[in-house]
Chain A
């Protein structure tokens, strides 16, 4: 039963990942990526990491993908806008991706699995104990990182040039540009 669930979820995850790459419309890509993230959350449940599954759904499907959707709709992207790579580059990309997967799987599939501990359950209590005892300093560092990222994003997104200047100012700048080009020509 678990094995069938694993195969079903894996099929959905890989199909979703490939559809992210191959679908022309960015919104479709986002929807398939959300599907992939949900299947990965189900894999976490299967691996007994319940808390991580919940956090994964909240952070990725809830926050990051909504951000992606907002940006796509803000930039008004659709399939008509995007140019495609040449056929040669596409074939090269597919061959590279396939070879990459084969090499990595072959290298890592013999990783040792002998040590099995049945006592681990990824509940919030167990995870919190490890996180706030052994990994307290990285935890604080991550909070700093998030603060820095938030500040950086606000600084980048705050644009001063979007404020429309008054009409006479526009005329002045236009005039100035014209004089500049004239000087350049001389």
Chain B
């Protein structure tokens, strides 16, 4: 399968550029939006870009360890989302907003 990947002209470079595009889209979202929920989604996007790059490297190097690490990253992302959304819900109940320009008490 790998050899067929190479024969079709699909190199690791393609995956590197794609992953970086997805990661940059996540960074752009974090900088661009004010809604904390969208920022969470963009963090998920960045984690997925890293996962994709990890799987690409694992396949091209023939090492299963990369895929195992993707597994762990998924678990950490699930934990992060559960706690983060719970915090966001509590904050919304108190302040009636998810705007990060208002939720800036921990900033400085």
Could you list which residues of chain A lie within 8 angstroms of chain B, going by C-beta atoms? 1-3, 6, 10, 13-14, 17-18, 20-22, 26, 29-30, 33, 36-37, 40, 43-44, 46-49, 51-52, 55-56, 59-60, 63-64, 67-68, 71-72, 74-75, 77, 82-85, 89-90, 92-94, 96-98, 100-101, 104-105, 108-109, 111, 113, 115-122, 126-127, 129-131, 134-135, 138, 142, 145-146, 148-150, 152-154, 156-157, 159, 162
Contacts and interface: CB of A to CB of B under 8 A. Distances in A.
A21 B62 contact: no
A40 to B, nearest CB: 6
A30 B63 CA distance: 33
Contacts, number: 256
B34 A82 contact: yes
B12 to A, nearest CB: 4
Interface string B18-50: 101111111111011111011011101100100
Interface of B: 1-6, 8-18, 20-29, 31-35, 37-38, 40-42, 44-45, 48, 51-52, 55-65, 67-68, 70-72, 74-83, 85-90, 92-93, 98-99, 101
